[in-house]
Amino acid sequence: MKIIRIHEYGGPENLILEDAPAPAAGPGQLLIKVAASSVNPVDWKVCGGALRALPNFSLPLTPGGDVAGTIAVVGEEVEGWTRDDEVYAFIGLTGAYAEFVAIDAAIAARKPKNLSFEQAATIPLAGLTAWQGLLKDGRDLAGLHVLVYAASGGVGSFAVQIAKAKGARVTATASAKNADFVRGLGADTVLDFRVTPVSGQAQDIDIVIDCVGDTAAFEIWPLIKSGGSLIRLGAGRDDPKPAEEAGVRVMKMQVQPNAGQLAEIAALVEAGAIRPAVAQIFPLEEVAQAHAVSKAGHVQGKIAISVK
């Protein structure tokens, strides 16, 4: 099979297309014939060595966490799946940029029927990050005011749509050139903090979901009601104490595979409440170029990788 690997940490130029034996499906696993994957910022961070200290990170490695494809082999002890079923999954931080992957059956969900494989592959990591971030608060979102900070990227674009689908009023931040895109996702109000401070435009926020984690988000924290929540998805280089002292619950989360939540997202996709925004599609052999585009920033939604 064809597979993308890096043999040393660095930039997109280190992504190499190679041949390798296909993995086997062990007990409790599915062998997936991958039709598509996608690019998430964490992919090029992995390639750059930012996560090299984490357990199980060793070279060579294959980037990618999103897969959409068909089941080639159903492993022993697996029930509910048959060969050729169409699935999608978040498989972790590595391993997706390949023609075949073996995954635990428990993390696979049925692909939304109304999406192509490329569209479906843009959902798992970003969609689950947004879903789990919004759920972290533990409240019903109906009637709440949610502010999505940095709404035009992969996670932000799903956060806007999920919050709206759950009945929230959504304010989003985005640059002027991305404002119409974010409005098209369903945001009630779009603010460009680069031009006018958000503190003068938004109020009575119940939940902020911060998709970046940079210091520019500081001005948003005082807008959260006492008893509200700040969901931090980014690197967290800042100090949350001012928010906590103001009676705001500060929660940091890291996305986890979850087939049940992917099934719920798929249902919303099939109902027309959520749609993935695919900015570009690159073939597997051009994944280095896809990483370069993603790393340059300004992508509306997600970049898909066609593997089939």
Element (H, E) at 48: helix 41-48
Write down the pLDDT at residue 233.
84
Structure token pair of residue 61: 């490695």
CATH fold for domain 127-252: Rossmann fold (3.40.50)
Q: Determine which helix (DSSP H) or strand (DSSP E) holds 77, and give its type and residue range.
A: none
The yes or no reply on domain 2-123+276-306 and CATH 3.90.180.10 is yes
Q: Is the pLDDT of residue 295 over 80?
A: yes
pLDDT digits (tens, 9 = 90+) for 79-125: 999 999 999 999 999 999 999 999 999 999 999 999 999 999 999 99
- What's the chain's average pLDDT? 92
pLDDT at 171: 95
Chain-centroid distance of CA 1 in Å reads 26
DSSP 220-255: GGGGEEEEEEEEE-S---S--HHHHHTTPEEEE---
pLDDT level of residue 197 (50, 70, 90 thresholds): low
Tens of pLDDT, residue by residue over 147-196, are: 999 999 999 999 999 999 999 999 999 999 999 999 999 999 998 877 76
**Maximum Cα interatomic distance, the chain, rounded to a whole number of Å:** 59
Helices (H) then strands (E): counts for the chain: 8, 15
Nearest-angstrom CA–CA distance, 203 and 147:
10
**pLDDT value at position 52?**
83
Q: Which of 57-61, 120-124, 184-188, 211-215 has the lowest mean pLDDT?
A: 211-215
Using a pLDDT cut of 70, give the percent of the chain over it: 95
Would you place residue 232 in the very low, low, confident or very high pLDDT band (cuts 50, 70, 90)? confident
Scored b (16 or more CB within 10 A) or e, 252-261 reads eeebebbbeb
Residue carrying structure tokens 């690019």: 39
As annotated, the residues of the chain forming the CATH 3.90.180.10 domain(s) are 2-123+276-306
Q: Which residue has the tokens 């906590």?
A: 244
